Amino acid sequence: MKKPNPAVAISEIRPGQSIELLKELHILTRDGKLNQDTRRKLKQVYHLYQFIEPLLAGAHSLADHGAGKSYLGFILYDLFFKEKATGHIYGIESRKELVEKSRELAKRLGFERMSFLDVTVEESTHSSALPEQIDVVTALHACNTATDDAIRFALTKQAKHIVLVPCCQAEVAASMRARKNESLGKTALSELWRHPIHTRELGSHLTNVLRCLLLEAHGYEVTVTELIGWEHSMKNELIIASHTGRPRKNARERAEAILREFNIEELAPRFAY
């Protein structure tokens, strides 16, 4: 059997990328190789970086919400901020053990302008460890309402750019499910979510539509696209919002109308503020 060539793995890595970092993140094996799973992970991170890099021009701060092991933050620092004189990345994660590991790794790699906070999103909004204004806010695979919390944080911090890859949106579907019998007698559109699988899928789609309207109501230009091929991940919707200061005039009204039509008006405080 032909042995894999480590050089093949290295050729897929961006110039200037820290090999030690990729090993620490378990993207590369200790002998510098990629397997199928880690190659897919590296491809996803690099693809996302291509979307984020243009937004970093002139950015002095980036907050990554639901950072987990801070894959994204470390890659962004290594590829972009490391060679810059300024720029700070904040990883926000409620699991203390992951925050401690990220702090240790940043210290070991000499990534001095990275900070990690073991706080909730609500706490981070008011934390003195964060500046009053954050240039870029990211939330990669933040589950359910965590994406909405990241949006609220970004609006509070007057973010210039917001990058979201939502995951496991369940709140809207749960509200639709709870009032399904009432909705069936109210509108023929309820046939769109009569079956449980349709409730889940439509609820997920509606969640992201409402998020986009919320961002537009607050003066952001929104782009929605695929992050990467569906064969790699089903949680694949990428939302990029850039502040223009020009709110879409009917965005809030459209959001309120959708909430009313789908009989989930109780969610207005989350999507129509």
- Give buried/exposed letters for 81-110 (b at 16+ CB in 10 A, else e): bbeeeebbbbbbbbeeebbeebbebbeebe
pLDDT digit string, tens, across residues 116-131: 999 987 789 999 999 9
Q: Which amino acid is at 63?
A: A
Helices 171-178, 196-217: crossing angle, 10 deg rounding: 120
* pLDDT greater than 50 at residue 149: yes
Backbone angles phi, psi at 249, to 5 degrees: -60, -40
In the chain, where the domains are located: 60-271
* Residues 216-236: tens digit of each pLDDT: 999 999 999 988 654 444 567
Three-state DSSP class for 220? strand
Cα–Cα distance measured from residue 51 to residue 227, given in angstroms and rounded to the nearest whole number: 9
- Calculate the alpha carbon distances from 233 to 28, 52, 60, 145 in Å: 20, 19, 31, 20
Give pLDDT tens digits for 155-195: 999 999 999 999 888 999 999 999 999 999 999 999 999 99
- In this prediction, residues 82-111 reach a mean pLDDT of 96
In the three-class reduction of DSSP (H, G, I as helix; E, B as strand; rest coil), residue 232 is classed as: coil
Tokens 């290295």: give the residue: 10
The CATH superfamily assigned to 60-271 is Vaccinia Virus protein VP39 (3.40.50.150)
